[in-house]
Every structure is written in structure tokens, then in C-alpha cells.
Amino acid sequence: MVSDFLFADDDSEVVETLESNWKILIVDDEPEVHAVTKLALSDFSFQHKGLEFYSAYSGEEAKKLIHEHPDAAIILLDVVMETDDAGLRVAEYIRQQAQNNFVRIILRTGQPGQAPERQVIVNYDINDYKSKTELTAQKLFTVIMASLRSYRDIIAIEENRKGLEKIISASTNLFSIHSMESFISGIVQQLTSVISSGREAMYATTLVANGIEEGNGDLIVVAGQGDFADAEGKAVKSVLNEDMMGAFITALNNKEIVYGDDYVIAYCQSKSCKGSLLYIAGLNDELSPTDKHLIELFTNSVQLAYDNVLLTRDLEDTQREIVMRLSEAVECRSKETGNHVKRVSLYCRSLALKLGMSEDEADKIMRASPLHDLGKIGISDDILHKPAKLSDEERTDMKEHALLGFNLLQGSDRPLIKAGAIIAKDHHEKWDGSGYPEGKKGEDIHVYGRIVALADVYDALRNERCYKDAWPKQKVIDYIAGQAGKHFDPTIVGHFLDSIDEFEAILNKYPDQE
């Protein structure tokens, strides 16, 4: 019957679609086609989502539309519009230019002879081919349902791929907190892609670690996606409503998995904190036994990995604190305050970054630089505390501290200690070869030593010592600039001159104390 065909004449008003859900692009130069398509699919629903329609009336408009809506699920594409092959050109553009391999392309034509089905299917990456005369309302429903299922599965595979990519990337450095957060984010992404859920999910943990309350015990978002993608680092109570926050507290206090109508909150046992929670919202259907097993597996495993990372971080922090306190003890023996080593470490990090070093390398220099004067532990108090100029013999004794520090630190396999040994030996070498202990010259001096040399001198000159008053800012700038190519690496001097305000800010933030 003619009335059964979708593209028969119809004067009915278009029924409004449900609120934004699956995006459908309609590309056809006949306005009636747009109206009837919307009418036929007005009550369509898949996984509790309706359809949201966007229209284009030419091939050129369609190209703009696909860029504006890269998350479109289906494009109903006419072949003949402004040209006989306009639709085919759009299909080619979507796959090759826009690089969109997800949207399902359903080619519709009122003139099958213009684009033979066999030739089109072979030559173009389309997903279905329909003649308008055969596409009844029921058949349109069927093809849309099949295409949405295909799109859903493709997106799930893509989410799995992205999650696996995050896991692999983070696995190269699992003992970095940043990488661990990426690791957890990747697992959450994979988990939500394989169970029947939406994309809204978060993983949150308390700030109470190792029995010591670092904050007020708030749950903090470690990883989030969907509506919670920008919530990482925020308190959970700031991103959830009061009712949902109550469910979170229940899951945390009872140490259980809470299944709601369209969400799940899973408690994750932890050795290092009060506990962690996995929250997945927007569940489309009741969770299957397999889905629940995956969630339980996550809760039993992921926090153990996170606890191990926190333990490693605690060991690293302990190592760094010991280095800093040892260095401060040496400085105190020299009747300096200890803030000297803190300031020098921050100057060094700044210079290292400006030299193009990585964040990790800059952090290593920052943490090792406090060891630069460790050898002073073997220098007599009479020399260290002398308020007047040292004699030649005393100066020779003082110079011994560079090799003393190196000898104390050399032989370690730990990167931090190895860097400290290099710095202890080379930070008194000079660019022109007149330094000590080995008289190295130019780039033969390790870059760590060259960086610490300038940072150490700047701080010594800008602060009062037992043998001198503090120099004013401009006098120090003029002195260091004049020593480029003599005492200091000219390139590092250039970066210092560009960073003087940053150096002064560090100096003022960590002043000497009585």
C-alpha cells in the first residue's frame, strides 16, 4: 500500500523528539524527507534514549554538520542532491577527511540507477543502502535499531581501546602517582565500556593515609569520566547532590557495594586509607552476574595497586626528607639556617627546566642539590666559623670538602645519590678551568655542577654570612653577569638573568631565620 511507504506524501506535523540522546543526521535536499523521517521515528527509543535530529540540505552543509557533531551515531544520506554524486562525496569525506569511522552511514536514494548498490558498497565505506521506495516506516525502524546497536558496540570497543592505551601508558611507570591515576582512569574506562552503563563514573579515595590524617578525611576524586571528567582532585561532596552523597557515606561506612536503580557504588578495601569508592552512574539495564563480578574484581584489586604506589611514594618521600635534613644539619654546623639548601634546590629546578630538561630530570637535580656541601662535615669548625678571610692553608683545607662529599656519596646505585655525588664534586669547578677540585673546563663540567654553582653563589651573595653582609640585588646581578664565560656557563647565566624575579620570589618566600 502506498500509505505504508515512508516517503509518501504526508501533511502531519512533526512530533518533537525526546531530549538529546542518539544523534541522527538527516542529509537530503527534500524538506519533506526530513519531516517524514522525524515523524516516523518520533517515538523511537533504544537503551532508554531517544533520538536527536540534525538536518542538512546539501553535501556542503553535511560536511559542516559532521564536524559540528562528531559524536553522531547515524547519518541518513541522500545520494543525489546538488550533484548526482553529492552523497557519495560526503561519505568519502566523512571517512577520509573527517576521519570519522564511527558514525553509521545509511545511503538512501530515490534514483537507484544513479548509484548502483553493488558498485557503491564495494567502493565506499557505507553501512547500508536503501531505496526510498522500499523504506517503509517499519523498515526504517529496523535499520535504525540495527545501526544503533552497531554504533554502540563500536564505541564500546573504542572505549576499551582508549582504556587499554591508558593502562599500557601508565604501566611504564606505575610507581608514579600521576601514572597510577592514569592507570585507574584507564581501568574505569574499560570497566564502564564492557558493562551496561553510561559514561559517568568516578573513583574516589580519602586523604587519610597510613593512619595519619592529611586533610579532613574527605573523599577526593582520583579519576573521573563523563560528567566527572573535570572533577579529578575535587572533593566528592562538591560534585554530588546531598542524596547521592548519603549513599556514598553508607557504602564507605558499611564497606559494601550499593546497587541503585541506575547506579552502583562499590567500596574498595584499602590498607593505607579509610577506603575508596567506585561510582558508576547512568546504568541502562540491570547489571548481569558478569557485570557484578567485574565490579567486585575491580574493588578487590585496584586499591591494592594504589596502596603499593602510596607505600613507594612514602619511601621516596622519606629518602628525600633524610637528604634534606642531613643537608640542613651540615648547613647548621656552618652556622647557616638550612633554608639555604631549600632555596638552592628551587633555583636549580628552575634553571634545569629553562635548559630544556624534563620534569623528572629537573626534580632529580632539585632533590640532589642539597648534598652539594655534604663534604663540609669533614672540615674543622675553626675554618667553617672563621669571620675573617681564610689563609691560603685554610682555603686549601676548605677546598677538600668537594672531594670529601664526592667520596661519601660515590658508589651508590640510587639515582638521587649518584646525582648528589656529581654535584658535590663539580659545583666548585669554573667554566674557564680555574675551579677545583679537578680544574675542569667548559662542558667537561657536568651540567648538574654548572647549575648548582650559579644557584649556590647567588644565594650566598644575597644573604648575610659570618664573614660578609648580604649584597643588594643589582650588585649580585652585575657580578654574575660579569662572570659569564669565567666562573659560570654563559647559557645558564642568560637563563638566570631572565629569571631574576623568580629567584627573588624564592629568596623572599624562604628567608633566613634565627
Q: What are phi and psi of 276, to 5 degrees?
A: -135, 160
- Reading the block at residue 394, the C-alpha cell is 685554610
Locus of grid cell 537530503: 28
DSSP sequence for 427-446: TT--TTS--SSS---GGGS-
64 is catalytic: no
What CA–CA distance (Å, rounded) separates 146 from 123? 22
**N-term to C-term CA, the chain:** 98
What CA–CA distance (Å, rounded) separates 286 from 259? 10
Strand, helix or coil at 402?
Answer: helix
Q: Which of 130, 354, 376, 425 is catalytic?
A: 376
What CA–CA distance (Å, rounded) separates 346 from 366? 6
- Reading the block at residue 68, the C-alpha cell is 559540528
The answer to whether 95 touches 101, Cβ cutoff 8 Å, is yes
- Reading the block at residue 59, the C-alpha cell is 553535501
What CA–CA distance (Å, rounded) separates 457 from 478? 13
Show the CA angle centred on residue 268, arms to residues 263 and 269, nearest 5°.
155
- Reading the block at residue 120, the C-alpha cell is 557503491
Q: Is the sign of the CA dihedral 428, 429, 430, 433 positive or negative?
A: positive
What CA–CA distance (Å, rounded) separates 273 from 217? 9
What CA–CA distance (Å, rounded) separates 338 from 108? 77
Q: Is the sign of the CA dihedral 106, 112, 115, 116 positive or negative?
A: positive
The answer to whether 401 touches 375, Cβ cutoff 8 Å, is yes
Residue 17 DSSP label: P
Query: For 305, how many CA atoms within 13 A lie in the half-sphere containing its CB?
Result: 21
Give the amino acid at 263: Y
What CA–CA distance (Å, rounded) separates 244 from 424? 56
- Reading the block at residue 67, the C-alpha cell is 564536524
Q: Is the peptide bond before 31 cis (omega within 30 degrees of 0)?
A: no
Residue 24 DSSP label: E
Q: Any idea which residues carry the catalytic annotation?
A: 376
